[in-house]
Amino acid sequence: MNLNLLILLVAVAIVVAGQIHLIAFNVTSFEEGAKSEGAAFYFDKKFIPVMEEISAKVPQNETIVMSYDWTPLLEIFIKNKIEVPYGVVSLESLKNYMNDKKLTWLLVYENVSHTKDLESLFNKTGLKQLESDFQKIEEYSTENMFKFHLYRLKSQSMT
C-alpha cells in the first residue's frame, strides 16, 4: 500500500508542477506578446478613434480592401467589411482586383503587406505610386506612430 501511495503522490506532484509551469509560461507569453507590434494596438489610445474615423468616412455598405488584416479589432471598430487582396502582386493587379470586384476603398497599413510582393508598394516611398490611380483621402497616425492611409480608386481607373 505504501508503494501505491508513493506513486500517487509522485503523479499528483508531476501534474501540479506541470500546471505551475503552464501558468508561468502563459504569463510570460502574454507579456512578450503585449510588447509585439500587433498587441501594441490594444494599448494605443489613438487606435480606436482612428479606426472609428476611418469607418465614418467610408459608406457602411462598401468594402474596404486592406493591405493586411491581422487583428479582430479592425472588425470591431470598422463597421465595413474588410477584404485582404490575396493573390495581388502589383499595382496593376491591385487595380484589376478592385475593378473586378467593383471595390473603390483601399486602406494601407504603412510598411505592412499580406505578401512580400506588395511590401514595396505599401512602404513610405511606394505609396507615391498609388497617387496615379488612387485619391488619397486621409492619413492617420496612432499613438505608437503606426500609419494608416485611406485611398479611393479614381473613377478613370475603374473600368
In a shared domain, residues 11 and 57 = no
Q: Determine the residue type at 10.
A: V
In a shared domain, residues 63 and 89 = yes
Specify the CATH number for the domain of residue 152.
3.40.190
In a shared domain, residues 15 and 72 = no
Residue range 118-139, pLDDT digits in tens:
888 888 888 899 999 999 999 9
Q: Is 124 within 8 Å of 112 (Cβ atoms)?
A: no
For the segment 23-46, the average pLDDT, to the nearest whole number, is: 52
Burial class (CB within 10 angstroms; exposed 0-12, middle 13-18, buried 19+) of 65: buried
Domain that holds residue 54: 44-157
Structural domains in the chain (count): 2
Residue range 142-151, pLDDT digits in tens:
887 788 999 9
In a shared domain, residues 10 and 48 = no
For the segment 32-38, the average pLDDT, to the nearest whole number, is: 45
